[in-house]
Amino acid sequence: MKQLPIVLVLLACLSISTSVSAATAYTIEKQTAANLAMQRFAGKLVSVDPEQRKDIPVYRVKILDTHGGLHTVIIHGQTGDIISAH
């Protein structure tokens, strides 16, 4: 009978870790993030990389503009909001 509480604790821990990772899941696609960044800066898409920032899923999008400048746009992975652009 002592094994039952241990099983319940393990199941509770499992459900907590699942809900935490679900909260940091991406809801927009990489292509959507790229399109949003390209609306800010015209040029050639260099890369779209998923990252975690303070438990927030983001995409780091790099764009090479027509003058040779490299721009980095950080897109919120759930809302599609631009967090930063330079």
Q: What is the pLDDT of residues 6-34, one digit of tens each?
A: 444 444 444 443 333 445 699 999 999 99
Our count of domains for the chain comes to 1
Burial class of 37 by CB neighbour count within 10 A (0 to 12, 13 to 18, 19+): buried
What sign does the dihedral 36-61-75-34 (CA atoms) show? positive
Give CA angle at 42 (78, 32), nearest 5°.
25
Q: What is the pLDDT of residues 48-73, one digit of tens each?
A: 999 999 989 999 999 999 999 999 99
Is residue 80, in this structure, part of any structural domain at all?
yes
Is residue 16, in this structure, part of any structural domain at all?
no
CATH number at residue 65: 3.10.450.40
Is residue 46, in this structure, part of any structural domain at all?
yes
Is residue 71, in this structure, part of any structural domain at all?
yes
**Which is nearest to 82 in space by CA: 36, 46, 51?**
36
Is residue 9, in this structure, part of any structural domain at all?
no
| pLDDT value of residue 23 | 54
Is residue 48, in this structure, part of any structural domain at all?
yes
Is residue 18, in this structure, part of any structural domain at all?
no
Question: Per-residue pLDDT for 84 more than 50?
Answer: yes
Element (H, E) at 37: helix 30-40
